Structure 1
Amino acid sequence: MSDSALTLAEEIVLLALDDETGRPVGRGGMAPDRALAGALLMQLALAGRLDTDRDRLILVDPTPLGDAALDTALARLAAPGAPGDARGAIPLLAREAPAARAAILDRLVARGILRRVEDRVLWILPDRRHPKAPGRPEVREARARLRALLLEGEIPAPHDALLLGLARAAGLLPLIFTAAELEAVQPWLGVVTRIESLNRSLAEAVADVRGVGLGTARRD
């Protein structure tokens, strides 16, 4: 993997942080963990470690990628008795999503993309935040790609089609688009989130995040 390119999981973690405060935004509950699990699963498929169809999840190559979050997920899926489909794999990976998120945040801090701020609430409770570092373009670039994809009708690369499906599942689209923009792009949104075959095969599994398929046209 390139040291400069951000993974799907890294981009989802970045998009889910408020630019100024560094606190999480988007849907609450299990949605962020399941969206992150979906990102890890999708990235492993893009990296040639997994293959998938509508019913099966197939381990192709157990070789680690050198990324702590991805390699932990890969090891879980390569273990005896691991789920053989995406519906089972996403809950499995979601249970370890907090640890994966912590590893991703550490990596982004080490690369200078995020800052780590340690505060106290009421002088007692620890409050860790991760504001974006000034001058770093990564989050702006991810948002710009998603906006161009929907508003300009661009045919997406596989990475961006998957990122759009994950951002939708995590409830992040209203943070990237206005309500009027989302209203206007609903038909194309439904098409784009089904262009990439991996998005189609994982749609039902990640759908548990929001209760509908990722390819179903619905206002976000």
Structure 2
Amino acid sequence: MTEAGLTLAEEIVLLALDDETGRPVGRAGMAPDRALAGALLMQLALAGRIDTDGSRLILLEAAPTGDAALDAALALLAAPGAPGDARGAIPLLARDAPAARAVILDRLVARGLLRRVEDRVLWILPDRRHPKVPGRPEAAEARARLRGMLLREEIPEPQDALLLGLARAAGLLPLLFTAAELDQVQPWLAVVTRIESLNRAVAEAVADVRGVGLGTTRREG
């Protein structure tokens, strides 16, 4: 976990929410679900449940972690016929991402980091939002940490290297940096996101949904 006690999956969920409205930001479509799937996969690696050998994913242990969202992902990967690489695992976990996100949002609400707001659009359609609670530093900590790490060219901890790679692949970095800053940090970003072999495999799998290579558009991050 990070200094704020947040998991990778929790930080990705927070990064993808507008601070005030509590609505999702960033790319629409399948990208948010694939980003969360990548976070869960990386978190399982940090928990010692899976490992990577080149392009392969290896199940090391199927014992539950005690994290409901993580254990649901682990069960999918441990099932007979589960994909043996990140490119197959990401779409598999992404199909269950809405359920995982609901678990994580409930947990963040219970911890007082988010509020749950129930509205209706045109008095008919339900509209659930999760604004961040003012005064809680955890909500902005990941954003500030990633910015400082890249702008100051710091060597990240393994979890932060994974978070950077995931945020880059999911197209979240333009939400954290100006276009000029993104141009500035590209060389260091390329270095730190290749520290972990799992980072490379998952980042490429998440980036598949965007239909572009990770290095084709500099300002996308």
Q: TM-score, normalised to structure 2's length?
A: 0.93
Is 1:53 matched up with 2:57? Answer: no
Cα distance change, pair 117–170 in 1 and its aligned pair in 2 (3 A): same
Aligned with 2:127: secondary structure? strand
Deviation at 1:207, TM superposition (A): 2.2
Q: CA deviation at 1:218?
A: 2.6
Residue in 2 that maps onto 1:38 = 38
Identity of aligned residues (%): 84
SS at match of 2:55: coil
Deviation at 1:7, TM superposition (A): 0.9
**Further displaced range: 196-205 or 35-44:** 196-205
The residue aligned with 2:163 is 163
Shift of 1:200: 2.0
Change (3 A) 1:197 1:44: same
1:114 corresponds in structure 2 to: 114
3-state SS, counterpart of residue 218 of structure 2: coil
CA–CA distance in 2 between the matches of 1:86 and 1:161? 17
Q: Which residue of 2 aligns with 1:14?
A: 14
2:197 counterpart residue number: 197
Distance 1:48 1:155 in 2: 22
Provide the aligned length of Structure 1 versus Structure 2.
219
Aligned to 1:130: 130
Give the structure-1-normalised TM-score.
0.94
The alignment partner of 2:189 has SS state of helix
Please give the per-residue CA displacement for 1:72-119, whole angstroms capped at 9, x wherever unaligned. 000010111111111111110011111111111011111111100001
Give the AA of the match of 2:167: A
For residues 42-191 of structure 1, the aligned pairs below 5 Å read: 42-191=42-191
CA distance in 2, matches of 1:53, 1:206: 18
Give the CA deviation at 1:215.
6.6
Amino acid of the structure 1 residue aligned with 2:209: V
Question: Aligned partners of 1:187, 1:217: CA distance in 2, in Å?
Answer: 13
- Residue identity matched to 1:158: P
TM superposition shift of 1:158: 0.9
Structure 2 segments unaligned to the other structure (5+ residues): none
Unaligned runs of 5+ in 1: none
> Which one-letter code corresponds to 2:63 in the other structure?
T
Tell me the amino acid that sits aligned with residue 41 of structure 2: L
In the alignment, the residues of structure 2 paired with residue 54 and residue 205 of structure 1 have an alpha-carbon distance, to the nearest angstrom, of: 13
Report the Cα distance in structure 2 between the residues aligned to 1:213 and 1:162, rounded to whole angstroms: 18
**Following TM superposition, by how much is the alpha carbon of 1:141 offset from its aligned partner in structure 2, in angstroms?**
1.1
3-state DSSP class of the match of 2:91?
Answer: helix
Is this contact kept in 1: 2:26–2:172, CA < 8 A? yes
AA partner of residue 22 (structure 1): G
Instruction: Tell me, in whole angstroms, the C-alpha distance in 1 between the residues paired with 2:151 and 2:115.
Output: 31
Q: Which residue identity is paired with 1:60?
A: L
Whole-Å separation in 1 of the counterparts to 2:211 and 2:110: 36
Q: Distance in 2 between matches of 1:138 and 1:53?
A: 34
The root-mean-square deviation of aligned C-alpha atoms, in Å, is 1.7
How far apart, CA to CA, are the structure 1 residues paired with 2:186 and 2:61? 37
Deviating beyond 4 angstroms after TM superposition, the runs of 4 or more aligned structure 1 residues are 213-217
